[in-house]
Structure 1
Protein backbone atom coordinates (compact mmCIF):
# COMPACT_ATOMS: atom_id res chain seq x y z
CA UNK A 1 0.00 0.00 0.00
CA UNK A 2 1.51 3.32 -1.05
CA UNK A 3 0.51 6.99 -1.24
CA UNK A 4 -0.43 6.72 -4.91
CA UNK A 5 -2.87 3.90 -4.17
CA UNK A 6 -4.36 5.86 -1.28
CA UNK A 7 -4.77 8.94 -3.47
CA UNK A 8 -6.50 6.81 -6.12
CA UNK A 9 -8.82 5.23 -3.54
CA UNK A 10 -9.80 8.59 -2.04
CA UNK A 11 -10.64 9.89 -5.50
CA UNK A 12 -12.80 6.83 -6.25
CA UNK A 13 -14.78 7.19 -3.02
CA UNK A 14 -15.25 10.95 -3.38
CA UNK A 15 -16.27 10.78 -7.04
CA UNK A 16 -18.41 7.65 -6.64
CA UNK A 17 -17.33 6.37 -10.05
CA UNK A 18 -14.07 4.94 -11.33
CA UNK A 19 -14.48 6.82 -14.62
CA UNK A 20 -15.01 10.16 -12.86
CA UNK A 21 -12.07 9.46 -10.53
CA UNK A 22 -9.85 8.71 -13.54
CA UNK A 23 -10.79 12.06 -15.09
CA UNK A 24 -10.00 13.84 -11.84
CA UNK A 25 -6.60 12.13 -11.62
CA UNK A 26 -5.89 12.66 -15.34
CA UNK A 27 -5.27 8.97 -15.99
CA UNK A 28 -7.15 6.30 -17.95
CA UNK A 29 -9.65 3.99 -16.24
CA UNK A 30 -7.83 0.60 -16.62
CA UNK A 31 -4.79 1.42 -14.43
CA UNK A 32 -7.10 2.93 -11.79
CA UNK A 33 -9.24 -0.24 -11.70
CA UNK A 34 -6.05 -2.30 -11.53
CA UNK A 35 -4.71 -0.34 -8.53
CA UNK A 36 -8.05 -0.71 -6.74
CA UNK A 37 -8.00 -4.47 -7.30
CA UNK A 38 -4.38 -4.63 -6.11
CA UNK A 39 -5.31 -2.74 -2.95
CA UNK A 40 -8.20 -5.12 -2.23
CA UNK A 41 -5.94 -8.13 -2.76
CA UNK A 42 -3.25 -6.71 -0.48
CA UNK A 43 -5.72 -5.93 2.31
CA UNK A 44 -7.69 -9.12 1.81
CA UNK A 45 -11.14 -7.54 1.76
CA UNK A 46 -13.60 -5.80 -0.53
CA UNK A 47 -13.33 -2.03 -0.29
CA UNK A 48 -16.18 -0.92 -2.55
CA UNK A 49 -19.52 -2.22 -3.78
CA UNK A 50 -19.71 -2.02 -7.57
CA UNK A 51 -23.10 -1.22 -9.04
CA UNK A 52 -24.63 0.08 -12.28
CA UNK A 53 -24.58 3.66 -10.97
CA UNK A 54 -21.07 3.61 -9.57
CA UNK A 55 -19.26 2.46 -6.46
CA UNK A 56 -19.92 2.89 -2.74
CA UNK A 57 -17.45 2.05 0.04
CA UNK A 58 -17.92 -0.99 2.24
CA UNK A 59 -17.43 -0.69 5.99
CA UNK A 60 -13.75 -1.52 5.45
CA UNK A 61 -13.64 0.99 2.62
CA UNK A 62 -15.08 3.76 4.76
CA UNK A 63 -12.43 3.11 7.40
CA UNK A 64 -9.67 3.11 4.78
CA UNK A 65 -11.04 6.33 3.29
CA UNK A 66 -10.92 8.12 6.66
CA UNK A 67 -7.38 6.94 7.35
CA UNK A 68 -6.21 7.56 3.78
CA UNK A 69 -7.51 11.14 3.75
CA UNK A 70 -5.68 11.79 7.01
CA UNK A 71 -2.45 10.16 5.76
CA UNK A 72 -2.50 12.17 2.53
CA UNK A 73 -3.08 15.40 4.46
CA UNK A 74 -0.18 14.52 6.76
CA UNK A 75 2.07 13.78 3.75
CA UNK A 76 1.19 17.15 2.21
CA UNK A 77 1.79 18.97 5.50
CA UNK A 78 5.12 17.20 6.01
CA UNK A 79 6.32 18.06 2.52
CA UNK A 80 5.26 21.66 3.00
CA UNK A 81 6.96 21.95 6.38
CA UNK A 82 10.21 20.26 5.33
CA UNK A 83 10.50 22.38 2.19
CA UNK A 84 10.01 25.57 4.21
CA UNK A 85 12.79 24.86 6.72
CA UNK A 86 15.58 27.32 6.18
CA UNK A 87 13.70 29.32 3.57
CA UNK A 88 12.42 31.95 5.99
CA UNK A 89 9.18 33.71 5.15
CA UNK A 90 8.31 31.66 2.08
CA UNK A 91 5.96 28.79 1.42
CA UNK A 92 2.41 27.95 2.48
CA UNK A 93 1.09 28.57 5.99
CA UNK A 94 -1.61 26.07 6.97
CA UNK A 95 -4.04 27.68 9.39
CA UNK A 96 -7.01 25.89 11.00
CA UNK A 97 -9.86 28.13 12.17
CA UNK A 98 -13.06 27.29 14.05
CA UNK A 99 -16.31 28.86 12.85
CA UNK A 100 -16.63 30.97 15.99
CA UNK A 101 -13.39 32.80 15.16
CA UNK A 102 -14.44 33.78 11.62
CA UNK A 103 -14.88 37.37 12.73
CA UNK A 104 -11.32 37.55 14.05
CA UNK A 105 -9.30 35.81 11.33
CA UNK A 106 -7.70 37.17 9.27
CA UNK A 107 -6.66 39.88 11.71
CA UNK A 108 -5.66 43.29 10.43
CA UNK A 109 -1.97 42.64 11.09
CA UNK A 110 -2.02 39.38 9.16
CA UNK A 111 -2.48 41.42 6.00
CA UNK A 112 1.24 42.16 6.23
CA UNK A 113 1.86 38.80 4.59
CA UNK A 114 -0.79 39.29 1.91
CA UNK A 115 1.51 41.38 -0.28
CA UNK A 116 4.26 38.79 -0.34
CA UNK A 117 4.41 36.77 -3.55
CA UNK A 118 6.39 34.05 -1.74
CA UNK A 119 3.74 33.37 0.94
CA UNK A 120 0.33 31.71 0.54
CA UNK A 121 -2.25 30.37 2.97
CA UNK A 122 -4.15 27.12 3.23
CA UNK A 123 -7.15 27.60 5.53
CA UNK A 124 -8.98 24.64 7.02
CA UNK A 125 -12.23 25.09 8.93
CA UNK A 126 -14.05 22.93 11.43
CA UNK A 127 -15.36 22.61 14.95
CA UNK A 128 -13.10 23.38 17.90
CA UNK A 129 -12.25 19.66 18.42
CA UNK A 130 -11.58 19.31 14.67
CA UNK A 131 -9.21 22.30 14.68
CA UNK A 132 -7.35 20.92 17.70
CA UNK A 133 -7.02 17.55 15.93
CA UNK A 134 -5.62 19.26 12.83
CA UNK A 135 -3.01 21.00 14.97
CA UNK A 136 -2.04 18.06 17.18
CA UNK A 137 -1.77 15.74 14.16
CA UNK A 138 0.54 18.18 12.39
CA UNK A 139 -1.73 18.86 9.42
CA UNK A 140 -1.98 22.52 10.47
CA UNK A 141 0.82 24.26 12.31
CA UNK A 142 -1.35 26.98 13.81
CA UNK A 143 -5.01 26.98 14.85
CA UNK A 144 -7.55 29.47 16.15
CA UNK A 145 -10.23 28.18 18.52
CA UNK A 146 -12.63 29.54 21.11
CA UNK A 147 -12.94 28.68 24.78
CA UNK A 148 -13.77 26.36 26.40
CA UNK A 149 -11.33 23.76 25.04
CA UNK A 150 -8.81 21.26 26.40
CA UNK A 151 -5.36 22.86 26.13
CA UNK A 152 -3.27 19.82 27.12
CA UNK A 153 -0.24 19.55 24.84
CA UNK A 154 -0.85 22.97 23.32
CA UNK A 155 0.68 26.39 23.62
CA UNK A 156 -1.96 29.10 23.61
CA UNK A 157 -2.14 32.83 23.12
CA UNK A 158 -5.49 34.13 24.33
CA UNK A 159 -7.49 37.12 23.12
CA UNK A 160 -9.44 39.30 25.56
CA UNK A 161 -12.81 38.02 26.78
CA UNK A 162 -15.69 38.65 24.42
CA UNK A 163 -19.38 38.92 25.33
CA UNK A 164 -22.26 37.27 23.55
CA UNK A 165 -24.71 39.38 21.60
CA UNK A 166 -28.36 38.61 20.98
CA UNK A 167 -29.51 39.02 17.38
CA UNK A 168 -33.22 39.80 17.78
CA UNK A 169 -35.95 40.01 15.16
CA UNK A 170 -38.06 43.13 15.90
CA UNK A 171 -41.05 40.98 16.85
CA UNK A 172 -38.98 39.26 19.56
CA UNK A 173 -37.27 42.30 21.07
CA UNK A 174 -36.77 42.18 24.82
CA UNK A 175 -34.46 43.71 27.42
CA UNK A 176 -33.00 47.19 27.60
CA UNK A 177 -31.88 49.52 24.84
CA UNK A 178 -28.38 48.04 24.44
CA UNK A 179 -28.28 45.07 26.81
CA UNK A 180 -30.35 42.03 27.68
CA UNK A 181 -30.10 39.62 30.59
CA UNK A 182 -30.21 35.85 30.33
CA UNK A 183 -33.40 35.83 32.39
CA UNK A 184 -35.05 38.18 29.89
CA UNK A 185 -34.06 35.83 27.08
CA UNK A 186 -35.37 32.71 28.80
CA UNK A 187 -38.84 32.95 27.24
CA UNK A 188 -37.53 33.71 23.73
CA UNK A 189 -36.97 31.04 21.07
CA UNK A 190 -33.17 30.82 21.07
CA UNK A 191 -30.76 29.89 18.29
CA UNK A 192 -27.17 28.99 19.08
CA UNK A 193 -24.44 26.51 18.20
CA UNK A 194 -24.26 23.13 19.88
CA UNK A 195 -21.44 23.95 22.33
CA UNK A 196 -23.10 27.18 23.43
CA UNK A 197 -26.50 25.51 23.83
CA UNK A 198 -25.09 23.33 26.60
CA UNK A 199 -23.65 26.33 28.43
CA UNK A 200 -26.82 28.38 28.05
CA UNK A 201 -28.90 25.45 29.28
CA UNK A 202 -26.68 25.07 32.34
CA UNK A 203 -26.74 28.81 33.11
CA UNK A 204 -30.54 28.91 32.93
CA UNK A 205 -30.89 25.69 34.94
CA UNK A 206 -29.05 27.34 37.84
CA UNK A 207 -31.81 29.93 37.79
CA UNK A 208 -34.49 27.22 37.60
CA UNK A 209 -35.40 28.29 34.06
CA UNK A 210 -35.83 26.16 30.94
CA UNK A 211 -34.40 27.45 27.66
CA UNK A 212 -36.55 27.52 24.52
CA UNK A 213 -34.11 26.22 21.94
CA UNK A 214 -35.68 26.92 18.56
CA UNK A 215 -32.62 25.75 16.63
CA UNK A 216 -29.21 24.26 17.47
CA UNK A 217 -26.59 24.90 14.78
CA UNK A 218 -23.05 23.77 14.03
CA UNK A 219 -21.81 27.19 12.97
CA UNK A 220 -22.27 30.69 14.38
CA UNK A 221 -22.73 32.06 10.85
CA UNK A 222 -25.77 29.80 10.47
CA UNK A 223 -27.06 31.09 13.81
CA UNK A 224 -26.95 34.67 12.48
CA UNK A 225 -28.62 33.67 9.22
CA UNK A 226 -31.52 31.95 10.98
CA UNK A 227 -31.96 34.87 13.38
CA UNK A 228 -31.93 37.31 10.44
CA UNK A 229 -34.69 35.19 8.87
CA UNK A 230 -36.84 35.71 11.98
CA UNK A 231 -36.58 32.14 13.27
CA UNK A 232 -35.56 33.15 16.78
CA UNK A 233 -33.04 35.11 18.83
CA UNK A 234 -29.49 34.20 17.82
CA UNK A 235 -26.67 34.11 20.37
CA UNK A 236 -23.15 34.59 18.98
CA UNK A 237 -19.81 36.11 20.03
CA UNK A 238 -19.78 39.84 19.28
CA UNK A 239 -16.99 39.58 16.70
CA UNK A 240 -19.22 37.45 14.45
CA UNK A 241 -21.10 40.65 13.54
CA UNK A 242 -18.08 41.59 11.41
CA UNK A 243 -18.76 38.76 8.97
CA UNK A 244 -22.52 38.22 9.29
CA UNK A 245 -25.30 40.29 7.76
CA UNK A 246 -27.95 40.55 10.46
CA UNK A 247 -30.29 42.79 8.46
CA UNK A 248 -32.73 44.89 10.45
CA UNK A 249 -32.44 42.88 13.66
CA UNK A 250 -31.79 44.41 17.08
CA UNK A 251 -28.30 43.70 18.45
CA UNK A 252 -27.93 43.67 22.24
CA UNK A 253 -25.08 42.60 24.51
CA UNK A 254 -25.93 39.66 26.78
CA UNK A 255 -25.07 40.63 30.36
CA UNK A 256 -23.94 37.18 31.45
CA UNK A 257 -20.22 37.03 32.30
CA UNK A 258 -20.23 33.22 32.54
CA UNK A 259 -21.09 33.00 28.84
CA UNK A 260 -18.22 35.21 27.68
CA UNK A 261 -15.54 33.42 25.66
CA UNK A 262 -12.01 34.05 24.44
CA UNK A 263 -10.49 33.16 21.12
CA UNK A 264 -7.03 31.62 21.24
CA UNK A 265 -4.17 30.99 18.83
CA UNK A 266 -2.85 27.46 19.43
CA UNK A 267 0.11 25.37 18.32
CA UNK A 268 1.74 22.15 19.52
CA UNK A 269 3.80 22.57 22.67
CA UNK A 270 6.39 19.92 21.76
CA UNK A 271 6.96 21.02 18.18
CA UNK A 272 9.15 23.82 16.85
CA UNK A 273 7.31 26.14 14.50
CA UNK A 274 8.69 26.99 11.08
CA UNK A 275 9.82 30.57 10.56
CA UNK A 276 6.67 31.32 8.58
CA UNK A 277 4.38 29.81 11.25
CA UNK A 278 6.17 31.83 13.95
CA UNK A 279 5.46 34.97 11.96
CA UNK A 280 1.80 34.01 11.56
CA UNK A 281 1.47 33.53 15.33
CA UNK A 282 3.13 36.90 15.95
CA UNK A 283 0.89 38.70 13.45
CA UNK A 284 -2.28 37.09 14.80
CA UNK A 285 -1.26 38.57 18.13
CA UNK A 286 -4.24 38.75 20.45
CA UNK A 287 -6.71 38.55 17.54
CA UNK A 288 -7.59 42.18 17.82
Structure 2
Protein backbone atom coordinates (compact mmCIF):
# COMPACT_ATOMS: atom_id res chain seq x y z
CA UNK A 1 0.00 0.00 0.00
CA UNK A 2 1.35 3.41 -0.98
CA UNK A 3 0.05 6.49 0.85
CA UNK A 4 0.86 10.17 1.16
CA UNK A 5 0.36 11.68 4.63
CA UNK A 6 0.89 15.26 5.73
CA UNK A 7 3.17 15.71 8.77
CA UNK A 8 3.79 12.00 9.48
CA UNK A 9 4.98 10.91 12.93
CA UNK A 10 7.46 8.06 13.31
CA UNK A 11 8.63 5.92 16.22
CA UNK A 12 12.15 6.70 17.43
CA UNK A 13 15.06 8.20 15.56
CA UNK A 14 15.34 5.20 13.23
CA UNK A 15 11.78 5.85 11.96
CA UNK A 16 10.97 2.14 11.77
CA UNK A 17 7.25 2.57 12.39
CA UNK A 18 4.58 5.12 11.45
CA UNK A 19 2.74 6.17 14.63
CA UNK A 20 0.46 8.95 13.35
CA UNK A 21 -2.92 8.39 15.04
CA UNK A 22 -4.95 9.23 11.94
CA UNK A 23 -2.91 6.83 9.78
CA UNK A 24 -4.37 3.81 11.59
CA UNK A 25 -7.90 4.96 10.77
CA UNK A 26 -7.07 5.65 7.12
CA UNK A 27 -5.56 2.19 6.62
CA UNK A 28 -8.42 0.49 8.46
CA UNK A 29 -11.08 2.28 6.41
CA UNK A 30 -9.33 1.29 3.18
CA UNK A 31 -8.92 -2.44 3.83
CA UNK A 32 -11.00 -3.64 6.82
CA UNK A 33 -14.26 -4.57 5.04
CA UNK A 34 -12.50 -6.23 2.10
CA UNK A 35 -10.10 -8.07 4.40
CA UNK A 36 -12.91 -9.27 6.71
CA UNK A 37 -14.80 -10.60 3.66
CA UNK A 38 -11.70 -12.46 2.47
CA UNK A 39 -11.07 -13.94 5.93
CA UNK A 40 -14.64 -15.23 6.23
CA UNK A 41 -14.24 -17.06 2.92
CA UNK A 42 -10.71 -18.34 3.54
CA UNK A 43 -10.41 -19.34 7.23
CA UNK A 44 -7.48 -21.72 6.69
CA UNK A 45 -5.43 -19.11 4.84
CA UNK A 46 -6.40 -16.61 7.51
CA UNK A 47 -4.96 -18.88 10.23
CA UNK A 48 -1.73 -19.25 8.24
CA UNK A 49 -1.52 -15.49 7.83
CA UNK A 50 -2.00 -14.92 11.56
CA UNK A 51 0.70 -17.50 12.35
CA UNK A 52 3.04 -15.74 9.92
CA UNK A 53 2.37 -12.39 11.59
CA UNK A 54 3.01 -13.88 15.02
CA UNK A 55 6.35 -15.36 13.95
CA UNK A 56 7.50 -12.10 12.39
CA UNK A 57 6.37 -10.14 15.42
CA UNK A 58 8.35 -12.43 17.72
CA UNK A 59 11.44 -12.03 15.56
CA UNK A 60 11.22 -8.26 15.81
CA UNK A 61 10.70 -8.39 19.57
CA UNK A 62 13.68 -10.70 19.95
CA UNK A 63 15.93 -8.37 17.99
CA UNK A 64 14.87 -5.50 20.23
CA UNK A 65 15.56 -7.60 23.36
CA UNK A 66 12.00 -7.38 24.59
CA UNK A 67 11.58 -11.02 25.57
CA UNK A 68 9.15 -10.18 28.34
CA UNK A 69 6.42 -9.27 25.86
CA UNK A 70 4.19 -12.29 25.20
CA UNK A 71 3.02 -13.56 21.81
CA UNK A 72 -0.54 -12.57 22.65
CA UNK A 73 0.44 -9.00 23.40
CA UNK A 74 2.43 -8.76 20.20
CA UNK A 75 -0.49 -10.01 18.15
CA UNK A 76 -2.89 -7.48 19.69
CA UNK A 77 -0.64 -4.62 18.66
CA UNK A 78 -1.15 -5.49 15.00
CA UNK A 79 -4.82 -4.49 14.86
CA UNK A 80 -7.73 -2.89 16.71
CA UNK A 81 -10.28 -4.97 18.63
CA UNK A 82 -12.70 -6.70 16.27
CA UNK A 83 -15.76 -5.61 18.27
CA UNK A 84 -14.86 -1.92 17.89
CA UNK A 85 -17.12 -0.10 15.44
CA UNK A 86 -14.93 2.84 14.49
CA UNK A 87 -15.87 6.24 13.11
CA UNK A 88 -14.77 7.41 9.67
CA UNK A 89 -13.14 10.71 10.65
CA UNK A 90 -9.39 10.33 10.37
CA UNK A 91 -8.36 12.78 13.09
CA UNK A 92 -9.09 12.53 16.83
CA UNK A 93 -10.45 16.07 17.02
CA UNK A 94 -14.25 16.05 17.25
CA UNK A 95 -14.53 12.25 17.62
CA UNK A 96 -16.11 10.24 20.44
CA UNK A 97 -15.82 6.67 21.70
CA UNK A 98 -18.93 5.34 23.45
CA UNK A 99 -18.22 2.49 25.87
CA UNK A 100 -21.45 0.48 26.24
CA UNK A 101 -22.45 -2.61 28.21
CA UNK A 102 -23.18 -5.66 26.07
CA UNK A 103 -23.97 -6.39 22.44
CA UNK A 104 -27.63 -5.39 22.84
CA UNK A 105 -26.83 -1.80 23.81
CA UNK A 106 -24.02 -1.86 21.28
CA UNK A 107 -26.46 -2.71 18.49
CA UNK A 108 -28.77 0.18 19.33
CA UNK A 109 -25.84 2.56 19.69
CA UNK A 110 -24.45 1.56 16.30
CA UNK A 111 -27.77 2.49 14.69
CA UNK A 112 -28.06 5.76 16.61
CA UNK A 113 -24.50 7.00 16.15
CA UNK A 114 -23.05 9.54 13.78
CA UNK A 115 -20.82 7.29 11.67
CA UNK A 116 -18.42 10.12 10.93
CA UNK A 117 -17.55 11.09 14.50
CA UNK A 118 -18.88 8.42 16.90
CA UNK A 119 -17.34 4.99 17.56
CA UNK A 120 -18.85 2.17 19.65
CA UNK A 121 -17.07 -0.37 21.87
CA UNK A 122 -19.32 -2.92 23.66
CA UNK A 123 -18.04 -4.58 26.83
CA UNK A 124 -19.15 -7.90 28.28
CA UNK A 125 -20.81 -7.10 31.59
CA UNK A 126 -18.93 -5.81 34.60
CA UNK A 127 -15.21 -5.29 34.09
CA UNK A 128 -12.39 -6.13 36.48
CA UNK A 129 -12.23 -4.05 39.67
CA UNK A 130 -8.71 -2.65 39.32
CA UNK A 131 -8.78 -1.24 42.87
CA UNK A 132 -8.51 -4.77 44.26
CA UNK A 133 -7.01 -6.72 41.33
CA UNK A 134 -3.38 -7.73 41.07
CA UNK A 135 -1.15 -6.39 38.31
CA UNK A 136 -1.07 -9.88 36.79
CA UNK A 137 -4.87 -10.05 36.57
CA UNK A 138 -4.97 -6.59 35.07
CA UNK A 139 -2.49 -7.50 32.32
CA UNK A 140 -4.39 -10.69 31.52
CA UNK A 141 -7.83 -9.06 31.28
CA UNK A 142 -8.94 -9.12 27.64
CA UNK A 143 -11.75 -6.58 28.01
CA UNK A 144 -9.47 -3.91 29.46
CA UNK A 145 -6.71 -4.69 26.96
CA UNK A 146 -9.21 -4.23 24.11
CA UNK A 147 -10.40 -0.97 25.66
CA UNK A 148 -6.91 0.53 25.83
CA UNK A 149 -6.06 -0.79 22.37
CA UNK A 150 -9.09 1.07 21.01
CA UNK A 151 -8.26 4.30 22.85
CA UNK A 152 -4.61 4.08 21.83
CA UNK A 153 -3.01 6.40 24.42
CA UNK A 154 -1.22 3.85 26.61
CA UNK A 155 -1.29 3.63 30.40
CA UNK A 156 0.71 4.92 33.34
CA UNK A 157 4.06 6.43 32.42
CA UNK A 158 3.53 5.31 28.82
CA UNK A 159 0.49 7.58 28.40
CA UNK A 160 0.79 9.60 25.18
CA UNK A 161 -1.76 12.35 24.56
CA UNK A 162 -0.80 12.51 20.88
CA UNK A 163 -1.73 8.84 20.41
CA UNK A 164 -5.27 9.30 21.78
CA UNK A 165 -7.61 8.14 19.01
CA UNK A 166 -10.70 10.02 20.22
CA UNK A 167 -11.28 13.45 21.74
CA UNK A 168 -14.00 12.23 24.11
CA UNK A 169 -14.29 8.88 25.88
CA UNK A 170 -17.94 8.50 26.94
CA UNK A 171 -19.14 5.85 29.38
CA UNK A 172 -22.73 4.99 28.42
CA UNK A 173 -24.48 2.52 30.75
CA UNK A 174 -28.06 1.81 31.80
CA UNK A 175 -29.68 4.26 34.22
CA UNK A 176 -29.95 1.68 37.01
CA UNK A 177 -27.86 0.23 39.85
CA UNK A 178 -26.00 -2.26 37.65
CA UNK A 179 -25.23 0.46 35.12
CA UNK A 180 -23.92 2.73 37.87
CA UNK A 181 -21.68 -0.08 39.14
CA UNK A 182 -20.21 -0.66 35.68
CA UNK A 183 -19.62 3.07 35.27
CA UNK A 184 -17.87 3.16 38.67
CA UNK A 185 -15.60 0.27 37.67
CA UNK A 186 -14.68 2.02 34.43
CA UNK A 187 -14.00 5.35 36.13
CA UNK A 188 -11.80 3.56 38.67
CA UNK A 189 -9.88 1.90 35.84
CA UNK A 190 -9.25 5.19 34.07
CA UNK A 191 -8.26 6.92 37.32
CA UNK A 192 -5.78 4.17 38.15
CA UNK A 193 -4.34 3.53 34.71
CA UNK A 194 -4.75 6.80 32.76
CA UNK A 195 -5.15 9.67 35.25
CA UNK A 196 -3.96 12.18 32.64
CA UNK A 197 -6.92 11.20 30.46
CA UNK A 198 -9.16 12.57 33.23
CA UNK A 199 -6.94 15.55 34.05
CA UNK A 200 -6.93 16.60 30.38
CA UNK A 201 -10.75 16.53 30.20
CA UNK A 202 -11.34 13.54 27.92
CA UNK A 203 -13.56 11.31 30.11
CA UNK A 204 -17.35 11.77 30.23
CA UNK A 205 -20.40 9.98 31.59
CA UNK A 206 -23.56 9.83 29.46
CA UNK A 207 -26.82 10.59 31.27
CA UNK A 208 -29.55 8.46 29.66
CA UNK A 209 -33.13 8.94 30.87
CA UNK A 210 -34.89 6.45 33.09
CA UNK A 211 -38.48 7.44 32.19
CA UNK A 212 -40.41 8.55 29.13
CA UNK A 213 -43.49 10.68 29.89
CA UNK A 214 -46.09 11.31 27.21
CA UNK A 215 -49.14 13.59 27.27
CA UNK A 216 -50.98 14.30 24.07
CA UNK A 217 -48.37 14.91 21.40
CA UNK A 218 -45.64 15.95 23.83
CA UNK A 219 -42.87 13.66 25.08
CA UNK A 220 -40.59 14.32 28.04
CA UNK A 221 -37.66 12.36 29.41
CA UNK A 222 -36.75 12.11 33.10
CA UNK A 223 -33.40 11.03 34.51
CA UNK A 224 -34.82 9.71 37.81
CA UNK A 225 -37.92 9.54 40.05
CA UNK A 226 -37.49 13.09 41.36
CA UNK A 227 -37.13 14.51 37.86
CA UNK A 228 -40.20 12.55 36.74
CA UNK A 229 -42.30 13.99 39.57
CA UNK A 230 -41.00 17.48 38.81
CA UNK A 231 -42.06 17.23 35.15
CA UNK A 232 -45.51 15.88 36.05
CA UNK A 233 -46.18 18.52 38.70
CA UNK A 234 -44.75 21.56 36.94
CA UNK A 235 -45.06 20.99 33.19
CA UNK A 236 -48.07 18.73 32.59
CA UNK A 237 -51.80 19.23 32.92
CA UNK A 238 -53.85 17.03 35.21
CA UNK A 239 -56.80 17.14 32.79
CA UNK A 240 -55.21 14.92 30.15
CA UNK A 241 -54.03 11.32 30.48
CA UNK A 242 -50.34 10.94 31.27
CA UNK A 243 -48.47 7.85 30.06
CA UNK A 244 -45.25 6.88 31.84
CA UNK A 245 -42.87 4.16 30.68
CA UNK A 246 -39.61 3.06 32.29
CA UNK A 247 -36.62 2.14 30.17
CA UNK A 248 -35.31 -1.30 31.15
CA UNK A 249 -32.00 -0.71 29.41
CA UNK A 250 -30.31 1.07 26.53
CA UNK A 251 -30.56 -2.09 24.45
CA UNK A 252 -34.37 -1.90 24.53
CA UNK A 253 -34.50 1.79 23.67
CA UNK A 254 -35.26 2.49 19.98
CA UNK A 255 -32.25 3.87 18.14
CA UNK A 256 -34.08 7.11 17.36
CA UNK A 257 -34.78 7.76 21.06
CA UNK A 258 -31.25 6.76 22.08
CA UNK A 259 -29.88 9.26 19.60
CA UNK A 260 -32.26 12.01 20.72
CA UNK A 261 -31.75 11.58 24.46
CA UNK A 262 -28.19 10.34 24.91
CA UNK A 263 -25.99 10.54 21.81
CA UNK A 264 -26.95 13.69 19.88
CA UNK A 265 -24.46 16.43 20.89
CA UNK A 266 -27.14 19.13 20.61
CA UNK A 267 -29.67 17.44 22.93
CA UNK A 268 -27.84 15.07 25.29
CA UNK A 269 -26.51 15.65 28.80
CA UNK A 270 -22.88 14.72 29.46
CA UNK A 271 -21.14 14.74 32.82
CA UNK A 272 -17.41 15.48 32.65
CA UNK A 273 -15.43 13.28 35.02
CA UNK A 274 -12.93 15.27 37.10
CA UNK A 275 -10.83 14.83 40.23
CA UNK A 276 -10.90 18.21 42.06
CA UNK A 277 -7.71 19.48 43.68
CA UNK A 278 -5.83 16.37 42.61
CA UNK A 279 -2.35 17.87 42.85
CA UNK A 280 -2.84 20.39 45.64
CA UNK A 281 -1.20 20.24 49.06
CA UNK A 282 -2.93 19.89 52.40
CA UNK A 283 -3.79 23.08 54.24
CA UNK A 284 -4.49 23.87 57.86
CA UNK A 285 -7.81 25.46 57.04
CA UNK A 286 -10.86 23.74 58.47
CA UNK A 287 -13.05 25.00 55.63
CA UNK A 288 -13.15 23.11 52.31
CA UNK A 289 -9.90 21.32 53.03
CA UNK A 290 -8.54 20.12 49.67
CA UNK A 291 -7.72 16.45 49.18
CA UNK A 292 -4.21 15.28 48.39
CA UNK A 293 -3.56 12.60 45.79
CA UNK A 294 -2.96 10.08 48.58
CA UNK A 295 -6.33 10.91 50.15
CA UNK A 296 -8.07 10.52 46.79
CA UNK A 297 -6.38 7.14 46.34
CA UNK A 298 -7.54 6.01 49.78
CA UNK A 299 -11.08 7.18 49.04
CA UNK A 300 -11.15 5.20 45.79
CA UNK A 301 -9.83 2.12 47.61
CA UNK A 302 -12.53 2.43 50.27
CA UNK A 303 -15.39 2.98 47.84
CA UNK A 304 -14.30 0.22 45.44
CA UNK A 305 -13.78 -2.40 48.14
CA UNK A 306 -10.00 -2.79 48.32
CA UNK A 307 -8.82 -4.41 51.54
CA UNK A 308 -6.34 -2.15 53.34
Q: TM-score range by the shorter chain?
A: under 0.3
Name the TM-score, length of structure 2 as normaliser. Answer: 0.26
Higher relative contact order (CA 8 A, sep 6+): 1
Q: Higher strand share goes to which structure? A: 1
